[in-house]
Structure 1
Amino acid sequence: MSTPSSSAELTILHLGLGSFHRAHQALYLHRLHQLGDARWVIAAGNLRPDMPETMAALQAQGGAYTLETVTPQGERRYTRIESIRRVLPYQADLAPLIALAAAPATRIISFTVTEAGYYLDANDRLDWPGFPDLRADLAAVRAGQAGHTLYGALATLLRARMRQHSGPVTLLNCDNLRHNGERSRSGLLQFIEALGDTALADWVRTHTTSPNAMVDRITPRPTPDVAERVRAATGWDDRAPVMGESFIQWVIEDHFIAGRPDWARVGVELVDSVLPYEEAKIRLLNATHSCIAWAGTLAGYRHIHEGTHDPVIRKMAHDYVTDDAIPVLLPSPIDLEAYRDVVLDRFGNPAIQDTNQRVAMDGFAKIPGMIAPTIRDRLARGESIASVALLPALFLACLQRWHQGTLPYAYQDQAMDPTAAHAICDAADPVAAFTADPTLWGELASDPRLVSALRDAFSRVQSFISDHQTP
Structure 2
Amino acid sequence: MHIGAGSFHRAHQAWYLHRLLVSGDSRCTIALGNIRNDANSLLDQLALQRGQYVLETVTPEGKRDYETITSIQKVLPWDAEITALVAQGADPSTQVISFTVTEGGYYLDNQHQLDPRHVDIQADLKGDVRTIYGTLARILTQRMVLNAKPVTLLNCDNLRHNGERFRNGFLSFLKLKGDDSLFNWVEKHTASPNTMVDRITPRPTPEVAARVNAATGIGDKVPVMGEDFIQWVIEDGFIAGRPALESVGVEMVESVLPWEEAKIRILNASHSCIAWAGTLIGQTYIDESTHQDSIRQMAWDYVTEDVIPSLSPSPLDLNKYRDVVLARFGNPYIKDTNQRVAADGLSKIPGFITPTLMETYQRGQIPRATAVLPALFFLFMQRWHRGELPYSYEDGVLDAAAMHSMFESADPLHQFVSDKALFSSLADNPDFYQLMRDTVKRLECWVANPQQKLKAQAEALTA
TM-score range with shorter-chain normalisation?
over 0.9
Q: Deviations over 1:261-313 (max 9, x none)?
A: 00001100000000010000000000000000000001110000011000000
Which residue in 2 is equivalent to 1:137? 124
1:138–1:147 CA contact under 8 A, matched in 2: no
Q: Deviations over 1:167-192 (max 9, x none)?
A: 10000000000000000001100111
1:432–1:446 CA contact under 8 A, matched in 2: no
Instruction: Measure the CA separation in 2 of the matches of 1:147 and 1:417.
Output: 21
Alignment of 1:40-55 (within 5 A): 40-55=28-43
Alignment of 1:426-441 (within 5 A): 426-441=408-423
1:328–1:377 CA contact under 8 A, matched in 2: yes
Say whether residues 1:78 and 2:66 are aligned partners: yes
Q: Deviations over 1:27-52 (max 9, x none)?
A: 00100111110110100100000122
Say whether residues 1:285 and 2:267 are aligned partners: yes
Structure 1: gaps (5+ residues): 1-12
Give the aligned length: 451
Which residue in 2 is equivalent to 1:9? none
Instruction: Measure the CA separation in 2 of the matches of 1:417 and 1:95.
Output: 31
Instruction: Measure the CA separation in 1 of the matches of 2:422 and 2:104.
Output: 12
Q: Deviations over 1:288-342 (max 9, x none)?
A: 0000000000111000001100000000000000000110000100000000000
2:294–2:450 CA contact under 8 A, matched in 1: no
Which residue in 1 is equivalent to 2:44? 56
2:153–2:192 CA contact under 8 A, matched in 1: yes
Which residue in 1 is equivalent to 2:287? 305
Instruction: Measure the CA separation in 1 of the matches of 2:434 and 2:147.
Output: 57
Say whether residues 1:234 and 2:222 are aligned partners: no
Could you tell me which amino acid in structure 2 is paired with residue 132 of structure 1? V
Instruction: Measure the CA separation in 2 of the matches of 1:155 and 1:53.
Output: 26
Q: 1:265 aligns with which of 234, 247, 250?
A: 247
Q: 2:111 aligns with which of 123, 126, 144?
A: 123
Say whether residues 1:378 and 2:366 are aligned partners: no
Which residue in 1 is equivalent to 2:157? 175
Is the partner of 2:370 in helix, strand or coil? coil
Of 415-424 and 27-36, deviating more is 415-424
CA offset at residue 444 of structure 1? Answer: 2.0
Cα RMSD (Å): 1.0
Of 456-465 and 305-314, deviating more is 456-465
2:274–2:296 CA contact under 8 A, matched in 1: yes
CA offset at residue 114 of structure 1? Answer: 1.2
Is the partner of 2:181 in helix, strand or coil? helix
Instruction: Measure the CA separation in 2 of the matches of 1:449 and 1:337.
Output: 29
Say whether residues 1:397 and 2:408 are aligned partners: no
Is the partner of 1:40 in helix, strand or coil? coil
Which residue in 1 is equivalent to 2:276? 294
2:125–2:134 CA contact under 8 A, matched in 1: yes
Of 430-439 and 332-341, deviating more is 430-439
Instruction: Measure the CA separation in 2 of the matches of 1:72 and 1:448.
Output: 44
Hey, which bits of structure 1, 4+ residues long, moved more than 6 A? none
CA offset at residue 166 of structure 1? Answer: 4.0
Instruction: Measure the CA separation in 2 of the matches of 1:322 and 1:382.
Output: 16
CA offset at residue 420 of structure 1? Answer: 2.1
Instruction: Measure the CA separation in 2 of the matches of 1:377 and 1:281.
Output: 17
Say whether residues 1:159 and 2:141 are aligned partners: yes
Is the partner of 1:172 in helix, strand or coil? strand
Instruction: Measure the CA separation in 1 of the matches of 2:429 and 2:72.
Output: 49
Of 437-446 and 199-208, deviating more is 437-446
Instruction: Measure the CA separation in 1 of the matches of 2:77 and 2:174.
Output: 26
CA offset at residue 446 of structure 1? Answer: 3.1
Instruction: Measure the CA separation in 2 of the matches of 1:99 and 1:55.
Output: 17
CA offset at residue 453 of structure 1? Answer: 1.4
Which residue in 2 is equivalent to 1:29? 17
1:125–1:187 CA contact under 8 A, matched in 2: yes
Instruction: Measure the CA separation in 1 of the matches of 2:130 and 2:76.
Output: 15
Say whether residues 1:244 and 2:226 are aligned partners: yes
Identity of aligned residues (%): 57
Instruction: Measure the CA separation in 2 of the matches of 1:464 and 1:431.
Output: 18
Structure 2: gaps (5+ residues): 452-463
Is the partner of 1:389 in helix, strand or coil? helix
Is the partner of 1:54 in helix, strand or coil? helix
Is the partner of 2:446 in helix, strand or coil? helix
Alignment of 1:345-384 (within 5 A): 345-384=327-366
Which residue in 2 is equivalent to 1:150? 132
Could you tell me which amino acid in structure 1 is paired with residue 185 of structure 2? W
Q: Deviations over 1:342-368 (max 9, x none)?
A: 000000011111000000011111000
Instruction: Measure the CA separation in 1 of the matches of 2:75 and 2:130.
Output: 18
Instruction: Measure the CA separation in 2 of the matches of 1:423 and 1:387.
Output: 29
Instruction: Measure the CA separation in 1 of the matches of 2:367 and 2:403.
Output: 24
Could you tell me which amino acid in structure 2 is paired with residue 68 of structure 1? E
Instruction: Measure the CA separation in 2 of the matches of 1:58 and 1:202.
Output: 37
